[in-house]
Amino acid sequence: MSPFDMRTWCLSDACSVPVSEIITVEEQDVHGKRSASGKWQKMERLYAFTVHYVQRARQHRWKWTKVTFCCADEQLCHLWLQTLRELLENLTSRPKHLLVFINPFGGKGQGKRIYERKVAPLFALASVTTEVIVTERANHAKDSLYEINIDKYDGVVCVGGDGMFSELLHGLIGRAQRNAGVDQNQPRATLVPSPLRIGIIPAGSTDCVCYSTVGINDVETSTLHIILGDSLPLDVSSVHHNSTLLRYFVSLLGYGFYGDIIKDSEKKRWMGLARYNFSGLKTFLSHHCYEGTVSFLPAQHTVGSPRDVKPCRAGCSVCRQSKQQLEEEQKRSLYGLENTEEVEEWKVICGKFLAINNANMSCACHRSHRGLSPAAHLGDGASDLILIRKCSRFNFLRFLVRHTNHHDQFDFTFVEVYRVKKFQFTSRHVEDEDRNLKERGKKRFGQICSDHPLCCCTVSNSSWNCDGEILNSPAIEVRVHCQLVRLFARGIEENPQPEPHS
């Protein structure tokens, strides 16, 4: 086979790798000597080059590896080098210049060291230049993305956890809307996608986004996905209250159980990561229920279901088809042929809930490999709304345990799950306050109850866990924005097989 026809590079009889997964090739200077009959003799001059490439290991892990080829023909060696370099140059999706934000407190305070020892050498090997900013305060990365010239970069990378990723997410989305003149405070606004991809070097406590998009929270694996220029579209949801944007999120929005955990854990940051276990146990034993009304618009454009057995994987057909269907609906609405949101019927559910969870992705992590919603898709323009109604403490424990095994966690009478493209929630406390406002002029007692929230007449509220951040608004509107951002990832590969060693 001619090297000019090559698309898959054969490393040996037992191993081959696509050119798209070669990191770089280097010419080697080989000075050959060998021992024969106990004497050192000079060998014929050899010419060599080294191929650096990606090798798959277990559990979705990628490894950088290399192999060196030698030959006595200088012209042939240079021919292979030239051919491989030309093929790599044609891979235009690969980044050449990146902006990197490092959270120095990430990775148990090792964020900077993780980057310098594990990430920077691989970037240098792949000839990726970087500009590094070590964050000094909360929202430093977000504010920087609003101010600096980002046109010269091919992507933005964060070294940290899900909170650091959220800063980049808000900065890039906010910058794109400002440039396009889009009002983010309008819940029905059509948001403009950011042109830059986001890379995540995991150094957090859960690394949920990495687990759900790559399959593992491994530094080397994520770095190699960035170097190869992988691109994965990702849905983003917006949270509004009274026509004011509160936050964006890509993984979990949780009220009740998960909201109480995050709020209680914030008071115990001195405990380190152990605070999540402590607050989780405390919240479980408290067993609080919250009353309210959930309204949602079913996602009729998607071809998937929350109860599907097959999860979202690399090259997902559900995400691709759902995106196409959603674009067709938006075109019909744009040309005035049909307003799908007015035609479709909202569903309303009232009751007492232990938890209300909205999952944009599976929300997998090292403790729950299948996640909160195993069949949730990354880019289908929909999210999974999970309602856990009031039940016994024992039944709720059964529900939680199923997140750690392969049993269906939705197979309970007190659990309901819906695939939605938008939903609203109003706490019973807010509904009662509205009624009190109308009666203030008539009954003095209503005035007293409104002014004193600790009064026994008041129904308590939970908080929202929004990708690890606390939102205290008891009345919100959530909308999914299909494939609003792109990550340096390709989705979890289906049963990847480790490459045999050559």
Global confidence as pTM: 0.87
pLDDT per position as a tens digit, 69-118 = 888 888 999 999 999 999 999 999 999 999 999 999 876 788 999 999 99
What token pair was written down for 394?
A: 């024992």
- In this prediction, residue 336 carries a pLDDT of 59
Least confident of 262-271, 427-436, 489-498: 427-436
Cα distances (angstroms) measured from residue 277 to each of 62, 209, 463:
31, 20, 18
- In this prediction, residue 10 carries a pLDDT of 54
pLDDT per position as a tens digit, 1-13 = 444 344 445 554 4
Q: Which of 162, 260, 264, 467 is catalytic?
A: 162
- In this prediction, residue 428 carries a pLDDT of 86
Confidence band of 452 (pLDDT split at 50, 70, 90): very low
- In this prediction, residue 263 carries a pLDDT of 94
- In this prediction, residue 458 carries a pLDDT of 38
- In this prediction, residue 354 carries a pLDDT of 97
Confidence band of 449 (pLDDT split at 50, 70, 90): very low
pLDDT per position as a tens digit, 35-66 = 444 455 555 668 899 999 999 999 999 999 99
What is the C-alpha to C-alpha distance for residues 328 and 119, in angstroms, rounded to an integer?
41
Residues sharing a CB contact under 8 Å with residue 92, sequence separation 6 or more, in sequence order: none
Domains, the chain, with CATH or none: 3-89 (no CATH), 97-428+460-487 (2.60.200.40)
- Counting other chains too, the contacts that 53-57 makes at CB distance below 8 Å and 24 or more residues apart are 53/9, 53/11, 53/17, 53/21, 53/22, 53/23, 54/17, 54/21, 54/22, 54/23, 54/224, 54/228, 55/17, 55/498, 55/499, 56/496, 56/497, 56/498, 56/499, 57/498
Mean pLDDT for the stretch of residues 180-198: 95
DSSP state of 21: G
What is the C-alpha to C-alpha distance for residues 223 and 18, in angstroms, rounded to an integer?
18
Residue 451, pLDDT > 70, answer no
Active site residue 235: no
pLDDT per position as a tens digit, 352-384 = 999 999 999 999 988 888 999 999 999 999 999
